[in-house]
Chains A and B, each alone.
Chain A
């Protein structure tokens, strides 16, 4: 396995994503500011102004238009990236669904943030979950390095001929977008060679004339949607191929699930995103005290890695699923997905919601979830860090 010696730089997650965009050299980038995504497009715009890439920037008047322009550009034959968060993604979402249906492989960098109201600019996964069923693929980074790596891999996954779907590359608002840490960037030429050229069938500006976004009646809509659904399923294998190629070339591996000390674990935490770092620290601490605990962080959320999750948690008796989003009146999204994946596996799953609107997840809350796993099960959803819910991580 090749391992490149790479110089590290101190970068925030947003800057790391912008560096990936600089190396990808997209043809078109429609952009619109929103915290905590703004530093992605701002950093990228600086690269364009400095002549580091000749990407055509479109300063649109809304995220709805950003995504609309992105679909137009991508289907015209141009590699296209945009970025957003929270209300911006909410405004975009109509067109994110259409992008998937029209098979426009747009890359969408997301600085995941809570949804209004009340208005809140801090991190959670409510925005991503709003687009969960759109057909857009979703990956989530744990830190700035992963934000960079996943962003570089995103075009290859989205544009693969078996996939041709938009992809959202999520990084937690502030925890990742604004936290500076050492990031190893690939040399520009290696990154560009990895990403390759943009090629789609039936581009508007290339080849014979084609009609995109047509009107489908009940006699055809279902089949067209089924093709899109099958493409999302196929993206599971494509994600594996692309991440393995990345490992082969550069020595860094980001499988669909990040399994940390789960091999002989009896209890585990399952979550998405930056809180994995906190959970891993707690796992280390408890392991040192002889407790068999582990942690699984989901990187590939759509398509959901059912098989991998079943394999990862096969020997684990109890799992606390920590969601940073809610589905009011029902169990939250990751818990529901995990429950379906582990149906009849014998793994006992418990649901927790944490961190809405940027509330921290202190180590004490992870301790509490793992401790409660050793106790008899309780019904319903537990809340970590919510005032009055009995946690020891009260703000």
Chain B
């Protein structure tokens, strides 16, 4: 597996996630997504929860995603990912898609993971889907304007206090 340094160097070779999105300049999310996708060989499908990443990368009619991508709602990225992975198992067992392995990667913020999405994540883990779940933890609900999440540090300022 490539090191972080190598992945960063190869940024321009990567076709899973492109620039031109509207995430803030300096936002930590794009390097996370690019690094994760870049480190996975072969075919992959990305699943997003509602949040900064989803909103800022798929403003119709554009998309920053070079891999098949799906977003359904805020609290269900893990369940959607489980459904896509189940479809892969069903279709390959019936010979309806090629043998090529596919990696499923879900991306959700800390709000979509620690709080509203915890139940769906618990169910997906317990069912044992073959998928990677990435929580990009920016320690707050950023998309709605900096409110606390279950991952906010004690005493961290929120929009209501600043």
Q: Could you tell me the distance in whole angstroms from the C-beta of B100 to the nearest C-beta in chain A? A: 10
Would B76 and A76 count as touching, CB distance under 8 A?
Answer: no
* Contacts known (A205-B91, A214-B63); A59 close to B72, Cβ less than 8 A: no
* Residues of A contacting B111 in the complex (Cβ-Cβ under 8 angstroms): none
Would B67 and A212 count as touching, CB distance under 8 A?
Answer: no
* Residues of B contacting A311 in the complex (Cβ-Cβ under 8 angstroms): none
Docked complex: A60-104 residues within 8 A CB-CB of B: 60-62, 64-66, 68-78, 80, 94-95, 98, 102
Would A30 and B68 count as touching, CB distance under 8 A?
Answer: no
Instruction: Tell me, yes or no, whether A1 is within 8 Å of chain B by CB.
Output: no
Q: Could you tell me the distance in whole angstroms from the C-beta of A262 to the nearest C-beta in chain B? A: 43
Among the stretches B23-31, B78-86, B144-152, B154-162, the one at the interface with A is B78-86
Would A215 and B45 count as touching, CB distance under 8 A?
Answer: no
A330 to B7, CA, bound (A): 61
Docked complex: A252-266 residues within 8 A CB-CB of B: none
Would B119 and A98 count as touching, CB distance under 8 A?
Answer: no
Would B90 and A56 count as touching, CB distance under 8 A?
Answer: yes
Task: Kindly identify which residue among A77, A205, A206, A212 contacts B69, using a CB–CB cutoff of 8 Å.
Answer: A212
* Residues of A contacting B122 in the complex (Cβ-Cβ under 8 angstroms): 61
A84 to B61, CA, bound (A): 35
* Contacts known (A68-B73, A78-B87, A78-B90); A206 close to B82, Cβ less than 8 A: no
Q: Could you tell me the distance in whole angstroms from the C-beta of A206 to the nearest C-beta in chain B? A: 6
Task: Give per-residue flags for A202-213: 1 if the beta carbon is below 8 A from chain B beta carbons, else 0.
Answer: 001110011111
Task: Kindly identify which residue among A68, A73, A217 contacts B60, using a CB–CB cutoff of 8 Å.
Answer: A217
Task: Kindly identify which residue among B47, B73, B87 contacts A205, using a CB–CB cutoff of 8 Å.
Answer: B87
Would B83 and A215 count as touching, CB distance under 8 A?
Answer: no
Docked complex: A221-236 residues within 8 A CB-CB of B: 224
Instruction: Tell me, yes or no, whether B110 is within 8 Å of chain A by CB.
Output: no
| Interface range for B | 35 or more
Would B63 and A211 count as touching, CB distance under 8 A?
Answer: yes
Task: Kindly identify which residue among B59, B70, B71, B94 contacts A217, using a CB–CB cutoff of 8 Å.
Answer: B59
Q: Is the interface of A mostly helix, strand, loop or mixed?
A: mixed
A209 to B119, CA, bound (A): 29
Would B87 and A64 count as touching, CB distance under 8 A?
Answer: no
A204 to B52, CA, bound (A): 22
Would B123 and A72 count as touching, CB distance under 8 A?
Answer: no
* Contacts known (A61-B119, A65-B76); A209 close to B60, Cβ less than 8 A: no
Docked complex: B48-69 residues within 8 A CB-CB of A: 54-55, 58-61, 63, 65-69
A61 to B123, CA, bound (A): 5
Would A204 and B70 count as touching, CB distance under 8 A?
Answer: yes
A210 to B71, CA, bound (A): 12
Would A69 and B55 count as touching, CB distance under 8 A?
Answer: no
* Contacts known (A61-B126, A65-B79, A72-B81); A77 close to B89, Cβ less than 8 A: no
Instruction: Tell me, yes or no, whether A216 is within 8 Å of chain B by CB.
Output: yes
By beta carbon, the residue of chain A nearest B55 is A215
| Best-surrounded residue of B86, B89, B124 (most CB of chain A within 10 A) | B86
| Best-surrounded residue of A64, A80, A209, A210 (most CB of chain B within 10 A) | A209
* Residues of A contacting B124 in the complex (Cβ-Cβ under 8 angstroms): 65
Instruction: Tell me, yes or no, whether B36 is within 8 Å of chain A by CB.
Output: no
Known: A61-B123, A209-B68. 19 other contacts (CB 8 A): A56-B89, A61-B126, A64-B75, A65-B123, A68-B80, A72-B84, A72-B87, A76-B87, A77-B96, A98-B72, A205-B87, A206-B97, A209-B65, A210-B68, A211-B65, A214-B60, A215-B55, A215-B60, A220-B61
A-B pairs, 6 with minimum CB distance: A72-B83, A61-B123, A69-B83, A76-B87, A78-B87, A65-B79
Which A residues are within 8 Å of any B CB, using their own CB?
27-28, 30, 54-56, 58-62, 64-66, 68-78, 80, 94-95, 98, 102, 204-206, 209-217, 220, 224
